[in-house]
Amino acid sequence: MSAAPSAAGRFGSYGGRYVPETLIAAHEELAEAYARITPTAEFQRELGDLLRHYAGRPTALFHARRISEELGGARVYLKREDLAHTGAHKINNVLGQCLLAHKMGKRRIIAETGAGQHGVATATACALFGLECEIYMGAEDVERQALNVFRMELLGATVRPVTSGSRTLKDAINEAMRDWVTHVRTTYYCIGSVMGGHPYPTLVRDFQRVIGLEARRQLQEAEGRLPDVLVACVGGGSNAMGLFHPFLDDPGVRMIGVEPAGEGIGSGRHGAVLCAGVPGILHGQKTLVLADDDGQIFPAHSISAGLDYPGVGPEHAFLRDSGRAEYVAVTDEAALDAFVWLSRMEGIIPALETAHAVAYVRELAPTLGRDQIVLVNLSGRGDKDAPTVREILKQRAGRADG
């Protein structure tokens, strides 16, 4: 199971390299550079130093006793990716890719961003390496995430608002790909999740595996054994892949990815691609997508901009079909409740993306015995979401008063 992908970048029938001809050579160059440069002792040492001294790894594994007690079932552990530099797991991938780009001699980095977390992480790494940085962001997200736009600019990046299509994450990816097609010889495209044409899904997963490798070791130290269940939220799916992958060959470890059900899967306004999507081709990969029967992609919906994507990394589609991982979905409402709940119970404000995983643990843990261990990827911190949540809570209070 952990041996995928094939040489052609296939995870079962998913993955591959569905890109315009102009970008084929760039993908080949990247695959070659990745295979040649990243295994070297020098690269591993440099990346290890950065993760440790710059990003603040290893991140803590925290036994969340209060929520465990309240739920009355399994012991819940939180892998604290929210404590990594820039406040989320995104930095792991970005440091790896920017170090690689630097060694490939690329001087200009482009990236897409939804809520702005990957954009901020990329801008951060570019500042560190002295690389030119441009971030594509849907015009709608630029308005909603003004603070992250300012952070990126503060870090020296140029933010390009994207006004085409639905003006959100998928359109930002389209525009980043168009930039890359145009400046392919000098530019490195730093994709933010386990998606895109081969080798991106593999490369990003491998840079995120540090999450699962650390968690495995830390839980061994704390409990002397492996977890029973892993839980992580899935948008593109990088924090989940990073946690799951080092456990794929341990059949006793269940893995559950939590998708955004938005206003409910039945409403049509959701981002639950693994639960309700169809096979399709989007952004360089064959995977599951939200599309109509003419093949037109339709916009996803989620309260969390980071999960608001109508596709998903191809390895998740493969893990779903094979039954190795399970995928469930949680509504905006439940995620919001979990956001508040975790803040009050453990003093940890999770990102709205992460709150989806927490919301599912509230359902799951009580069904499991006290001897069971659930390990949740606490993929990011929620400061960025405070304004959104404040607005919604105000509206809710207003409705209750009315």
Partner 1 sequence: MSRIEACLTALRRRGETALIPFISAGDPDLGVTEALLPALAAAGADVIEIGVPFSDPVAEGPTIQRASERALRAGTTLRRVLELVKTLRPKLDVPLVLMGYGNSFLTMGGVRFAEAAREAGVDGVITVDCPLEEEPEYYEALAACDVDAILLAAPTTSEKRLATLAQNTRGFLYYVSLTGVTGARAELPPEIEENVARIRALSDVPVCVGFGISTPEQAARIGKFADGVVVGSALVERIERAASREAAVTDAADFVAALKAPLRPARGTGVP
Residue of 68, 79, 81, 90 marked active site: 90
Minimum CB–partner distance for residue 20 and partner 1 (Å): 4
| Residue 111 β-bridge partners | 135
User: For residue 124, how far is the Cα from the chain centroid?
Assistant: 17
Contacts of 67 (CB under 8 A, 6+ apart): 76, 341, 342, 345, 346, 361, 365
Residue of 68, 193, 238, 379 marked active site: 379
Q: Which is nearer to partner 1, 16 or 87 (CB)?
A: 16
The residues that touch partner 1, with contacts defined as CB under 8 A, are 8, 16-26, 28, 164-165, 170-171, 174, 177-178, 181-185, 278, 280-284, 286, 289, 291, 293-298
Minimum CB–partner distance for residue 174 and partner 1 (Å): 5
Task: State yes or no: is 68 an active-site residue.
Answer: no
Minimum CB–partner distance for residue 158 and partner 1 (Å): 19
Minimum CB–partner distance for residue 186 and partner 1 (Å): 10
Q: Tokens at residue 152, please?
A: 């990126």
Minimum CB–partner distance for residue 198 and partner 1 (Å): 10
Minimum CB–partner distance for residue 396 and partner 1 (Å): 34
Q: Which is nearer to partner 1, 59 or 168 (CB)?
A: 168
3-class secondary structure per residue, the chain: CCCCCCCCCEECCEEEEECCHHHHHHHHHHHHHHHHHCCCHHHHHHHHHHHHHHCCCCCCEEECHHHHHHHCCCEEEEEEHHHCHHHECHHHHHHHHHHHHHHCCCCEEEEEECCCHHHHHHHHHHHHHCCEEEEEEEHHHHHHCHHHHHHHHHCCCEEEEECCCCCCHHHHHHHHHHHHHHCCCCEEECCCCCCCCCCHHHHHHHHHCHHHHHHHHHHHHHHCCCCCEEEEECCCCHHHHHHHHHHCCCCCCEEEEEEEEECCHHHCCCCCHHHHCEEEEECEEEEEECECCCCCECCCCCCCHHHCCCCCCHHHHHHHHHCCCEEEEEEHHHHHHHHHHHHHHHCCCECHHHHHHHHHHHHHHHHCCCCCEEEEEECEECHHHHHHHHHHHHHHHHHHHC
Q: Which is nearer to partner 1, 181 or 226 (CB)?
A: 181
Q: Which is nearer to partner 1, 80 or 283 (CB)?
A: 283
How far apart are the C-alpha atoms of 387 and 168, rounded to whole Å?
Answer: 19
Minimum CB–partner distance for residue 259 and partner 1 (Å): 20
Q: Which is nearer to partner 1, 221 or 293 (CB)?
A: 293
Q: Tokens at residue 203, please?
A: 């490369």
Residue of 79, 106, 112, 384 marked active site: 112
Task: State yes or no: is 112 an active-site residue.
Answer: yes
Task: State yes or no: is 2 an active-site residue.
Answer: no
The residue type of 64 is: A
Minimum CB–partner distance for residue 124 and partner 1 (Å): 27
Distances (CA, A) of 115 to 120, 146, 233, 341: 10, 10, 15, 22
Q: Which is nearer to partner 1, 85 or 286 (CB)?
A: 286
The residue type of 330 is: V
Q: Which is nearer to partner 1, 86 or 168 (CB)?
A: 168
Q: Which is nearer to partner 1, 64 or 162 (CB)?
A: 162
The catalytic residue positions are 90, 112, 379
